[in-house]
Amino acid sequence: MPAEMEWKKIDQKGECPSARSGHSFTWIGGYNYLLYGGIEDAKNGKIAPTGDLYTMKIGASDCTWTKTSANGSDKPLPRTQHWALNTPKGDKVFIFGGHHSPQARLNDTWFLEVKTMEWRRIGNDKDNTGNLESTCGAPGPRANVGACVYENKVYMFGGHGGLNYARVAFNDLYCFDLATETWEKIQPKNNPPDGRGGLSLFASDQKVYIYGGWNAEMQYNNIWVFNLETKEWTDPDIYNEIPRWNHCAALVEAIPTWKFFIFGGECAEFQEGTARSFGSYVNTSCILDLGTLRWNTFASDPELFDNIPTPREYSAMTYDERERRLIIYGGWNNGWFNDLYTLNVAKIVGPSYAITASDPALGQLSGNVQLKVSGRGIKDVNIRVLFTLGNKPVDAPSKLTLEVPGTFVSETELTCITPSFEAVGGANVAKECVMQLSIGNGDLTTTWIPFQYFLNTRAKTSLAYGAGLLKGLCAGEPTSFQIVARNDNNENRTSGRDVFAVKIKKTIPVAEDNEDPDAKPQTIEIPCEITDNDNGFYDCKYKCDHEGEIKIHIEFKDDKENMVPIRGSPYIAKFVPGAKPADNLMTGPVMVANFKEELIGLTELMQTKEKAINLKDKDLKNVKVLLGVKTEVEGVAKQSDGVTL
């Protein structure tokens, strides 16, 4: 069962960092994280950025900090509002830019080797506190950028800074190739978004997304998308509440669609053309589903959630994949924070596997139907397929849940045999349920698919009708009939996949001129083609080349794997001289005449029996009279069953 979504304040031990904001907080493997830089609380009356490095190991409810000194003859200047990212291999942390002081904006690029804790500068730039242009093609000096790693490249947009004394809100997009360690400025084919800083950025499916941010004139609450293949920007009109900036964010892999989480920051709505003032610090959390591209606010109502962090900006967020929780450290709200919070999002993110489809997505009440189940992230480790009655998924199995083992086929496919729904009173409740998976004793999938079950098809109620079952047909021409699958309640089935078998036999007598005394009549079997219409009706087509009677046996495979004759089987059809091809059609003369004949016969039967079963003027205390009425009623029912249509 996934952990409840809850905020938890983590107890901190060891060499704890000082309160700060504008720092970076990066996962470096296992339960270990790296905190770097930021602007910290006053020391000796001086407020300034720091170059401190701390590693943290986190448990369920506490963590341990260790202050670390990195190696290397060349080390980065202290900084805040920089950007740090763990590289795909997890062997180093990428760091760019930030503020060294209110006047000095940086544009240097660094790697911190995780294993050796050694700094390595990219390019030949020296320490740049004069806001100078980079000699290795890096972006201009700036802080508050949005950045992410995607397909072994770092994509970076915006930020506040500028060369020399300029103060610019950038709207350029850069790319740093982690393999070649080179920068590239990407030139769009159309107009980019307005310049901004304090934004967040992520990438997926060959697209770079930016959200939020601010500049001296505007604040933003929408998303812009840059297509890496077409090199064009688009504004898809995806908005999230009021403008937000200086928030923290994390993109989390989830199945079937990734999730983008944000927390805190400043929010305000200023009128265009008016001077920008401070916004309000917030502590709300929002999520963007990359499948629907819709925002939702969650875990933000203090009446429902305890321990929500106080409103703040310039905090740092990372994601604990093992425990499926967001981790947030520090920030600013008229003072610095050094608190550490987690928010479990397992119910949103789900496990690392998903169910997406089932073929078929329905089966009989008694079960024993083989399903081909599609999904993602499937592993050959204790696969469980769960069916819960109703139309809502569950976090854990309930009294209305049935479970069967799954058989691994591939990472995207498994098979299973459906259970009997009779065990949970399935015949007496709604005929629907939801399917979910559990793999390796993990949580149930947050994805689910609907599954319909139905009352079993029964041979005794199923029937067949059509021209191909009648007398007066034309030999040598195709004809047909239909099988109608029905359940115990005499209801027509509305789906297919039942198993019917049709055997058509014709006895050919010994020819009159045959002089062989040992000659015997021959019985031949006429092939019949059955087509499942997937609606409870089965088309049956055959052709008899000989005149005379044929016997048509129709059987159904029941839930015990037995072949049982359906109602009325075997049927006798007859091919006669002088018949025409049209007589073999479902709308032909033979079919119409048979319908009229049966209807007239049934009407006459009802009229003749009406008096017999009329209780008026009958001695109901006389047992013989009552038995006579019963016999007449059964006769009517038997006669009506004999009607083909």
DSSP string, 50-99: B--EEEEEE-SSEEEEEEE--B-SS-PPPBBS-EEEE-TTSSEEEEEEEE
Claim to verify: residue 137 and residue 240 sit in the same structural domain: yes
pLDDT tens figures, 197-214: 999 999 999 999 999 999
Domain-ending residue, one of 548, 564, 587: 587
Give the DSSP letter of residue 130: S
Query: pLDDT value at position 559?
Result: 86
Q: How confident is the model at residue 645 (pLDDT cuts 50, 70, 90)?
A: very low
Query: pLDDT value at position 47?
Result: 87
Mean pLDDT of the region 439-458: 93
Query: pLDDT value at position 271?
Result: 58
Q: Which helix (H) or strand (E) holds 637?
A: helix 623-641
Residue 288 half-sphere exposure toward CB, CA atoms < 13 A = 24
Mean pLDDT of the region 326-353: 95
Query: pLDDT value at position 376?
Result: 93
Mean pLDDT of the region 11-30: 96
pLDDT tens figures, 389-405: 999 999 999 999 999 99
Between 424 and 52, where is the model more confident? 52
User: Which residues span the domain enclosing 557?
Assistant: 463-510+519-587
Domain presence at residue 1: no
Domain-ending residue, one of 565, 587, 609: 587
Query: pLDDT value at position 265?
Result: 97
Claim to verify: residue 146 and residue 174 sit in the same structural domain: yes
Claim to verify: residue 239 and residue 103 sit in the same structural domain: yes
pLDDT tens figures, 207-266: 999 999 999 989 999 999 999 999 999 999 999 989 999 999 999 999 889 999 999 999
Rounded to whole angstroms, the Cα distance separating 464 from 445 reads: 43
- Helix then strand then coil, % of the chain, to nearest 5: 10, 45, 50
Claim to verify: residue 439 and residue 502 sit in the same structural domain: no
Domain presence at residue 75: yes
Q: How confident is the model at residue 196 (pLDDT cuts 50, 70, 90)?
A: very high
Rounded to whole angstroms, the Cα distance separating 86 from 509 reads: 87
Per DSSP, what are the bridge partners of residue 371?
416
Domain presence at residue 2: no
Rounded to whole angstroms, the Cα distance separating 342 from 419 reads: 40
Claim to verify: residue 95 and residue 213 sit in the same structural domain: yes
In the chain, the amino acid numbered 42 is A
Rounded to whole angstroms, the Cα distance separating 224 from 207 reads: 10
Domain-ending residue, one of 349, 381, 412: 349
Query: pLDDT value at position 222?
Result: 96
SS (H, E, C) 362-421: EEECCCCCEEEEEEECCCCCCEEEEEEECCCCCCCCCCCEEEEECEEEECCEEEEECCCH
Give the DSSP letter of residue 295: E
User: Which of these, 92, 83, 93, 101, lies nearest to 146 by C-alpha position?
Assistant: 83
Claim to verify: residue 429 and residue 290 sit in the same structural domain: no
The structure tokens 């321990």 sit at 307
pLDDT tens figures, 116-148: 999 999 998 888 888 999 989 999 999 999 999
Which stretch of 72-76, 353-357, 622-626 has the lowest confidence by average pLDDT? 622-626
- Exposure letters 271-282 (e unless 16+ CB within 10 A, then b): eeeeeeeebebb
Rounded to whole angstroms, the Cα distance separating 178 from 93 reads: 11
Average pLDDT, the chain: 90
In the chain, the amino acid numbered 610 is E
Per DSSP, what are the bridge partners of residue 34?
26, 55
pLDDT at residue 637 tops 60: no
Mean pLDDT of the region 418-444: 85
Per DSSP, what are the bridge partners of residue 223?
211
Q: How confident is the model at residue 596 (pLDDT cuts 50, 70, 90)?
A: confident
Claim to verify: residue 528 and residue 628 sit in the same structural domain: no
Domain presence at residue 360: yes
Claim to verify: residue 441 and residue 523 sit in the same structural domain: no
Mean pLDDT of the region 615-636: 60
At 334, is the secondary structure helix, strand, or coil? Answer: coil
Displacement of CA 123 from its chain's centroid (Å): 44
Percent of the chain with pLDDT over 90: 77
Query: pLDDT value at position 619?
Result: 59
Between 641 and 289, where is the model more confident? 289
Per DSSP, what are the bridge partners of residue 340?
329
pLDDT at residue 100 tops 70: yes
Residue 263: partners with Cβ closer than 8 Å, 6 or more residues away:
247, 248, 249, 283, 284, 285, 286, 309, 315, 317, 326, 328, 343
The predicted model scores a pTM of: 0.77
Give the DSSP letter of residue 617: T
Q: Cα dihedral angle (223, 228, 232, 233), rounded to 10 degrees?
A: 10
pLDDT tens figures, 365-423: 999 999 999 999 999 999 999 999 999 999 999 999 999 999 999 999 999 999 998 87
Mean pLDDT of the region 524-547: 96
Domain presence at residue 438: yes
Query: pLDDT value at position 362?
Result: 92
Claim to verify: residue 489 and residue 560 sit in the same structural domain: yes
- What are the phi and psi torsion angles at 35 (to 5°)? -105, 130
What CATH number is attached to the domain comprising 321? 2.120.10.80
pLDDT at residue 354 tops 80: yes
User: Which of these, 6, 75, 91, lies nearest to 36 by C-alpha position?
Assistant: 75
Q: How confident is the model at residue 615 (pLDDT cuts 50, 70, 90)?
A: low
pLDDT tens figures, 511-526: 777 777 778 888 999 9
Domain presence at residue 207: yes
Which stretch of 94-98, 304-308, 468-472, 633-637 has the lowest confidence by average pLDDT? 633-637
Domain presence at residue 302: yes
Query: pLDDT value at position 524?
Result: 93
Domain presence at residue 561: yes
- What are the phi and psi torsion angles at 36 (to 5°)? -140, 135
Query: pLDDT value at position 628?
Result: 65
Query: pLDDT value at position 241?
Result: 85
pLDDT at residue 577 tops 50: yes
Claim to verify: residue 411 and residue 487 sit in the same structural domain: no
Query: pLDDT value at position 228?
Result: 98
Domain count, the chain: 4
Claim to verify: residue 345 and residue 233 sit in the same structural domain: yes
279: tokens are 């916004």
Mean pLDDT of the region 485-507: 93
Claim to verify: residue 538 and residue 449 sit in the same structural domain: no
What CATH number is attached to the domain comprising 372? 2.60.40.10
